[in-house]
């Protein structure tokens, strides 16, 4: 289902192996141009997988960078 509301999910986990519903959320992002998944991993040194995306904890700077262009964000 395509939403007309822009949605950004900032989702943090230690490793991709521990991220519940990660594949489903990535698929949802591919299917819905108004949904953006910002997944960040905080302990990639413990992972057997590679992670080409964000690493580190969710910070105020990360949130501002991701939602800064939204006219009236809802948190």
What is the average pLDDT value for the chain, to the nearest integer?
90
DSSP state of 4: S
pLDDT for residue 48: 94
Would you state the pLDDT for residue 30? 95
Length of the chain equals: 75
Instruction: Supply the pLDDT for residue 67.
Output: 81
Whether residue 38 is predicted with pLDDT greater than 90 in this model: the reply is yes
Residue 41 burial class via C-beta count within 10 angstroms: exposed 0-12, middle 13-18, buried 19 and up: buried
State the pLDDT at residue 72: 72
3-class secondary-structure state, position 57 = coil
Token couple for 23? 């594949």
Q: What is the pLDDT of residue 75?
A: 67
Is pLDDT at 27 greater than 90 in this prediction? Answer: yes
């Amino acid at each position: 289902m395509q939403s007309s509301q822009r949605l950004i999910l900032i989702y943090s986990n230690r490793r991709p192996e521990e991220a519940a519903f990660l594949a489903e959320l990535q698929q949802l992002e591919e299917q819905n141009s108004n949904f953006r998944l910002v997944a960040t991993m905080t302990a990639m040194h413990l992972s057997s997988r590679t992670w080409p995306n964000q690493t580190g904890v969710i910070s105020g700077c990360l949130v501002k960078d991701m939602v800064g262009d939204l006219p009236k964000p809802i948190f």
